[in-house]
């Protein structure tokens, strides 16, 4: 399965860690939900932009290669924005390079 890389930006626009997880609309929506108080950048492993978000989990931009992915992602986001807890939780562990890797 392809991996997405999430970057949680601080107030100055910098990130401290990379968060690796499955590249699915559900997992991206979970990552956005779990970090909705921050601006986020999510890319694929080739560093192609998937999306950026604003605080409160609002989608800002979609990468050209992933524009067709938008509807599926929005559907997943609406679930948690409307109060559903069906998405579950992402769990991570730190690897030797201090990156956060999704665990099952």
Domain positions in the chain: 3-103
In tens digits, the chain (104 residues) has pLDDT values of 799 999 999 999 999 888 999 999 989 998 998 899 999 999 999 999 999 999 998 999 999 999 988 999 998 888 777 777 676 777 877 777 767 777 76
How far apart, in whole angstroms, are the C-alpha atoms of residue 46 and residue 3?
10
Does the predicted model carry a pTM greater than 0.95? no
For residue 61, the model assigns a pLDDT of 95
Of 37, 45, 62, the residue nearest 6 (C-alpha)? 45
Query: Could you give the 3-state DSSP secondary structure of residue 64?
Result: helix
For residue 40, the model assigns a pLDDT of 96
């Amino acid at each position: 399965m392809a991996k997405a890389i999430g970057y949680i930006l601080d107030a100055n626009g910098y990130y401290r860690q990379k968060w690796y997880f499955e590249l699915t609309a559900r997992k991206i929506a979970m990552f956005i939900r779990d970090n909705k108080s921050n601006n986020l950048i999510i890319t694929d492993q080739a560093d192609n932009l998937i999306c950026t978000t604003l605080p409160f989990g609002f989608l800002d931009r979609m990468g050209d290669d992933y524009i067709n992915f938008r509807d599926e992602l929005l559907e997943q986001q609406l679930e948690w924005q409307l109060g559903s807890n069906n998405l579950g939780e992402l769990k991570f562990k730190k690897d030797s390079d201090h990156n956060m890797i999704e665990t099952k």
